[in-house]
Amino acid sequence: MPHIIADKIDLPSKTCSLVADGGFEILFFANGFDGAIGVKTPRAKFILRKFPHEKGVILKCDKSTRPPFLNDIKKAMLVVAEICGAKIYEKNYENDPILHDREYENFVSASEFINLFDCAKKLWIEIGFGSGRHILKNAAENPEKLHLGIEIHRPSAEQLLNRAKYENLNNIVVVLADARTFIKSLKTSLAERIFVHFPAPWDKNADRKVFNMEFVKESLKVLAKNGKIELRTDSENYFENSLNIAEGFENITIEKKINKETIISSKYEDRWKKLNRNIFDLIITKNYDEDSVNSKMDFSIKNSDILREKISAKFTVKDENYLLITKKVWKLNNNAILAQIIMGALNSPIAIYLLIGDQAEYFPSPPLPTKENFAAHLALIG
Ligand SMILES: C[S@@+](CC[C@H](N)C(=O)[O-])C[C@H]1O[C@@H](n2cnc3c(N)ncnc32)[C@H](O)[C@@H]1O
């Protein structure tokens, strides 16, 4: 990830413009050893953090607010350094990020997808698409659907978007996220198909298994009636374990196939076929309707005064389902406060920022609407 090492990064006390060329803007600046700088670019808002370094100070993008546009981060760091009159000792990227900008219009952040995508098109989701052969083929043959790819591996995601651009496919959207968490935040009854092809093996590390009980439960919610979860694997162990999980659910139909003919074969599939290994398919069809639930989660904050008092006092709340902890609080100009809090599920909490002035909001966007995040939010504002 890009970073800059400089002598110091402090906002000069004399008045200066916090707006730079190209629509880059500093929204807030928390000075101090371990500071936080809110930045706005034409297509994203995020936080840069500065930490002490042996040569002075190191500036990086905060991971939890990181947008998919790396060049915005690079340019923002240069803008901040210039406004602060910093002397840059080192940076791990070339001088003119815009020159090398690659615009991934269909690369959206998880929260953008949740907030912006009200799909008129029916959604097909592919989890861990790897080289992307299958999703590309689906997108080309089914232009009337929106194809959402979820990946944790950034190079695979970039490769897919490059390929989609080359093939003039504008019905592919990519979210860079752990599918197990992201799927929890999608609205109910949104998707027709969810593909999980050759998920990473799990025998050595059960925590990495994508296809677990919770994943199936959440995927069923996201599917419309008659929608399908389609697992394909070369591992009999993975298949048997997943079948076992699926059999615990009601009102679904389960189909099992071995060495099913397929129109498109992924890189992994080719490899296993050459070794004459069996390929297992598990297809789960949802046989019921349900009402939209998580669209009712409202993360707005009505009373900023109560929240300000609460945050200033610092707190830790641990319930059996969620946690909520104040990690750090900065005082900003104009009596405003920036706070970093930890909230959400006990086993996978998130770090998120709150900006509290006359009004209060999560910065740059509210947490993903999972039931644990919402429970923590209610505790925060209650
Ligand atoms: C073995 S590869 C299979 C790729 C592709 N589906 C195929 O059939 O060739 C597994 C893929 O899943 C991705 N992956 C692993 N865990 C994931 C998770 N929790 N969320 C999203 N993607 C994940 C990996 O980055 C990798 O690209």
Ligand 1 neighbours (beta carbon < 6 A): 127-131, 150-153, 156, 178-180, 197-200, 210, 266-268
Same domain as 222, residue 210: yes
In a shared domain, residues 113 and 240:
yes
User: pTM value?
Assistant: 0.67
Determine what percent of the chain is predicted with pLDDT higher than 90.
48
For atom 24 of ligand 1, which residue has the closest CA? 128
Same domain, 255 and 113: yes
The answer to whether residue 295 scores a pLDDT higher than 70 is no
- Does 263 share its domain with 350? no
Of 129, 230, 277, the residue with max ligand 1 atoms within 8 A of its CB, to mutate for a pocket test, comes to 129
At 226 the pLDDT is 95
Total domains present in the chain: 3
Closest CA to ligand 1's atom 1: 200
Domain boundary residue, one of 100, 127, 147? 100
pLDDT grade for 104, boundaries at 50, 70 and 90? low
CA angle 125, 130, 133 (to 5 degrees): 75
Verify that 140 and 216 share a domain, yes or no. yes
Residue 284 and residue 318 in one domain? no
Q: Which residues neighbour 318 within 8 Å (Cβ) at sequence distance 6 or greater?
A: 324, 346
Interval between CA 267 and ligand 1 midpoint (Å): 12
The gap between the terminal CA atoms of the chain, to the nearest Å, is 37
Residues 289 and 302 in one domain: no
Tokens of 183: 């799927």
* pLDDT tens string 9-57: 988 765 556 777 778 899 999 887 789 999 999 888 999 999 999 999 9
Do 280 and 309 lie in one domain? The reply is no
43, 74, 100 - which closes a domain: 100
Neighbours of 285 (CB within 10 A): 16
Tell whether 155 and 173 lie within a shared domain: yes
Kindly state whether residues 39 and 112 are assigned to the same domain.
no
Same domain, 48 and 126: no
Query: What is the tens place of the pLDDT at every residue in 323-373?
Result: 999 999 999 888 899 999 999 989 888 899 999 999 999 999 888 778 889
Q: What is the pLDDT of residues 219-270, one digit of tens each?
A: 999 999 999 999 999 999 999 999 999 998 888 999 999 998 887 888 778 8
Residue after which a domain boundary falls, among 81, 100, 119: 100
Ligand 1 atom closest to the Cα of residue 153 is 25
Q: What is the pLDDT of residues 197-214, one digit of tens each?
A: 999 887 667 777 899 988
Q: Which domain holds residue 78?
A: 3-100
My answer on whether 34 and 75 are in the same domain is yes
